[in-house]
Chains A and B, each alone.
Chain A
Amino acid sequence: MTDVKGHEVTKMVETQEAVAVSSRQKAGLEARGIHAWFDKHHALEDVNLFFPENTVTGLIGPSGCGKSTFLRILNRMHEFIPKAAMAGEVLLHDGDIYDPSVNPAEIRLKIGMVFQKPNPFPAMTIAENVVAGVKLAKLKVASRDEVIEECLTRAGLWKEVKDRLGAKGGSLSGGQQQRLCIARALAVNPEVLLMDEPCSALDPGSTLRIEETIGELSKTMTIIIVTHNMQQAARVSDYCAFFLADGGPGHLVESGLTSQMFTTPTDKRTEDYVQGRFG
């Protein structure tokens, strides 16, 4: 490792500690020393991040810097890619989710995910889509209808679809489909919600609705969102983490309060990126 690089990493860690200390919050999720590989390709190098409970953290950075890979490591979706490997720990309630005794299905139940492209189940109705997770995980709920109404309301979709819950999920517009997917993720009561560019395929109106939804949800859950949109990161997140690849493996350049990251970042590259000079 070069001197220059060592210097960078040290700076990053200081920022990390600053965040952890200044927030003095309970951890919603914590990543320690995360590396990722695809076969021999080292995609992500030594990422340490602390996600305080009930906050929104935005992961920003140019394409190919490992944000999405990092996100997928947080709920054990990384392992579905053949030849993928990793190192490090992801702590949920002080327990490593990669411990051999842990059932990955239970982890994914606690750490939900919303994908870039809306993916409602096409053969199911809107109502069935919302409770699909409940059914798939064989959870017991007091009232199916209540869950449907509550989740659709929290996802900001209830008013638009309450009269056509029996219609197929695919009959909705793109923005509505994405909110349906958020409702579906909420129905299993996750503690953490991961969002991988949830608004990249949506119009500004739908984006706004989803951002409002995120703000509402963060009162009760920890949200981690990957976004390419600087304004969106500034609008919705409490904390930000800036990833960069620089030709080598992706790594964390800097993380901290969103307000600081956008006004007084400690790293020149962060400043250039958030001000739109590259990426």
Chain B
Amino acid sequence: MSDTALAPTPAPIRPWKVTPRMVAPQLGLAFGGAVAAMAVVLATGLAGFDGWLVVFVPISIIGTLLLSRSKGAVASVDAIVGNGIVTVAGISFYPIVSLLWTVISQGLDALLNWNFVSSDMRISGPDDELNMGGALHALVGTLMMVSIAAVITLPLGVLTAVYVTEVRGKLRTLVRFIIQSMSGVPSIVAGLFIYSTVVMGMNKFSGLAGGLALAILMLPTVARTAEEVLKLVPDDLRSASYALGAPQWRTTLFVVLPTVRSGIVTSGILGVARIAGETAPLLLTASYFTATTFSPTEGPVASLPMFTFGLLQSGTEYSFARAWACSLLLLLAVFVLFTIARALSGRDKR
């Protein structure tokens, strides 16, 4: 006994981890089934992804049954349900991957020209070859208007959420109701509202008007998400802060909000995701302009969705290529923004 007691420390192990050896038969089945189904699709009249699926699913179920037959009924049911979930997850991935792939493969052609992100359409037309002109004006316009919307909406949305969950004022039911209703407002109506107030008032289209229209759409998303996040803060934390003699506003600012910092950032990300690709509210507010504009108050401003929309209407080979590249650029811009936001917010230290 004392030998074992004095033996060197054994290596840490994780007996609960799923090892590659354990999932190898399943992976083999999935791969083999996929290849077999592909062969059937190629050899017979069955066609397309749905045809492939019709062959793959029975192979998968029967194969799973055969693999798990020695382990008893419960294990078999477990394996089949598990397989079904993975299959359904795979199917639901298909549209996303397909969409991304289409945008990337179609858009890369035009986007790989440096001029696409370094110049605008001031002296080029939509039919010009891809080594002329670009989407700089639209990229700048989109970033400008999304920034205006975010600067207005983030404080307002978070404050609304704080009013509803922390202050718990008398009007919170009404406020919550209005926020909910706002999320149902069609985006063109938001545009029309800003058109009839700001655009008519200033007597010109502008980036500011576009940003305001986007803010109307972004506000309910931010406020609702922030409210749900704030509700997750345990009351113990608020009590602990109050018991230290902290007033409510300092409790909210220094205890509650920091606790859910990454959740608040998520609310902002969801809000930006909601508006970045909006076209309808910009039609009547920012309109479109071919040159790069940095001023939000001096006349119309381009945006990536509006530029895409216009290019698609031109309907020529080069304008289509530019439209795909615009979509890809929008995806990339949103992706970069989200990555930066995530990196800055860090993880919740809980």
| B9–A42 CB distance below 8 A | yes
Give the interface segment out of B13-21, B131-139, B191-199, B212-220: B13-21
Residue of B6, B9, B14, B16 near A10 (CB, 8 A) is B6
Of residues 3 through 34 on chain A, the ones whose CB sits less than 8 Å from some CB of chain B are 6, 9-10, 12-13, 16-17, 33
**Binary per-residue interface labels of chain B (80-114) against chain A in the complex, 1 for a CB within 8 Å, 0 otherwise:** 00000000000000000000000000000000000
* B2 within 8 A of partner (CB): yes
* B5 within 8 A of partner (CB): yes
| A13–B15 CB distance below 8 A | no
In the docked arrangement, what's the CA distance between A87 and B9, Å?
Answer: 9
Q: How far is the CB of A5 from chain B (nearest CB, A)?
A: 9
Residue of A1, A9, A17, A98 near B15 (CB, 8 A) is A98
Q: How far is the CB of A125 from chain B (nearest CB, A)?
A: 24
Residue with the highest number of chain A CB atoms closer than 10 Å, among B5, B6, B8, B22: B5
A1-B6, A10-B6, A13-B1 given as contacts; is B12 within 8 A of A35 (CB)? yes
Tell me how many residues of B have a C-beta within 8 Å of chain A. 15
* B346 within 8 A of partner (CB): no
Chain B residue nearest to A76 (CB atoms) is B16
A17-B1, A98-B15, A104-B16 given as contacts; is B10 within 8 A of A9 (CB)? no
| A10–B2 CB distance below 8 A | yes
| B13–A33 CB distance below 8 A | no
Q: Which residues of A contact B2 (CB under 8 A)?
A: 9-10, 13
In the docked arrangement, what's the CA distance between A87 and B7, Å?
Answer: 13
* A45 within 8 A of partner (CB): yes
* B11 within 8 A of partner (CB): yes
Q: Which residues of B contact A100 (CB under 8 A)?
A: 15, 22
Q: Which residues of A contact B6 (CB under 8 A)?
A: 1, 6, 9-10
Chain A residue nearest to B18 (CB atoms) is A100
In the docked arrangement, what's the CA distance between A196 and B350, Å?
Answer: 22
* B4 within 8 A of partner (CB): yes
In the docked arrangement, what's the CA distance between A209 and B164, Å?
Answer: 44
| B14–A85 CB distance below 8 A | yes
| A9–B1 CB distance below 8 A | no
Chain A residue nearest to B75 (CB atoms) is A103
In the docked arrangement, what's the CA distance between A98 and B16, Å?
Answer: 8
| B11–A12 CB distance below 8 A | no
Tell me how many residues of A have a C-beta within 8 Å of chain B. 26
* A234 within 8 A of partner (CB): no
Of residues 1 through 47 on chain B, the ones whose CB sits less than 8 Å from some CB of chain A are 1-2, 4-6, 8-16, 22
A9-B6, A12-B5, A33-B4 given as contacts; is B16 within 8 A of A87 (CB)? no
| A87–B5 CB distance below 8 A | no
Q: Which residues of B contact A79 (CB under 8 A)?
A: 14, 16
Q: Which residues of B contact A6 (CB under 8 A)?
A: 6
**Binary per-residue interface labels of chain A (95-138) against chain B in the complex, 1 for a CB within 8 Å, 0 otherwise:** 00011100010000000000000000000000000000000000
* A46 within 8 A of partner (CB): yes
| B4–A87 CB distance below 8 A | no
* A88 within 8 A of partner (CB): yes
| B10–A33 CB distance below 8 A | yes
| A87–B1 CB distance below 8 A | no
| A9–B16 CB distance below 8 A | no
Q: Which residues of B contact A85 (CB under 8 A)?
A: 12-14
Q: How far is the CB of A77 from chain B (nearest CB, A)?
A: 11
Q: Which residues of B contact A86 (CB under 8 A)?
A: 12-15
Q: How far is the CB of A148 from chain B (nearest CB, A)?
A: 26
Q: Which residues of B contact A17 (CB under 8 A)?
A: 1
Of residues 229 through 262 on chain A, the ones whose CB sits less than 8 Å from some CB of chain B are none
Q: How far is the CB of A73 from chain B (nearest CB, A)?
A: 11
Q: Which residues of B contact A273 (CB under 8 A)?
A: none
In the docked arrangement, what's the CA distance between A83 and B10, Å?
Answer: 17
In the docked arrangement, what's the CA distance between A104 and B22, Å?
Answer: 16
Q: How far is the CB of A30 from chain B (nearest CB, A)?
A: 13
Residue of A1, A13, A16, A88 near B10 (CB, 8 A) is A88
* A37 within 8 A of partner (CB): yes
In the docked arrangement, what's the CA distance between A85 and B17, Å?
Answer: 10
In the docked arrangement, what's the CA distance between A8 and B1, Å?
Answer: 14
Q: Which residues of B contact A46 (CB under 8 A)?
A: 5, 9
Q: How far is the CB of B203 from chain A (nearest CB, A)?
A: 59
In the docked arrangement, what's the CA distance between A17 and B12, Å?
Answer: 26
The 8 closest A-B pairs by CB, nearest first: A85-B12, A79-B16, A87-B10, A98-B15, A9-B5, A37-B12, A13-B5, A10-B2
Question: 27 A-B residue contacts at CB 8 Å?
Answer: A1-B6, A9-B2, A9-B6, A10-B5, A13-B1, A13-B2, A17-B1, A33-B4, A35-B9, A46-B5, A46-B9, A48-B5, A76-B16, A85-B13, A85-B14, A86-B12, A86-B13, A86-B15, A87-B9, A87-B10, A87-B11, A87-B13, A88-B10, A98-B15, A98-B16, A100-B15, A104-B16
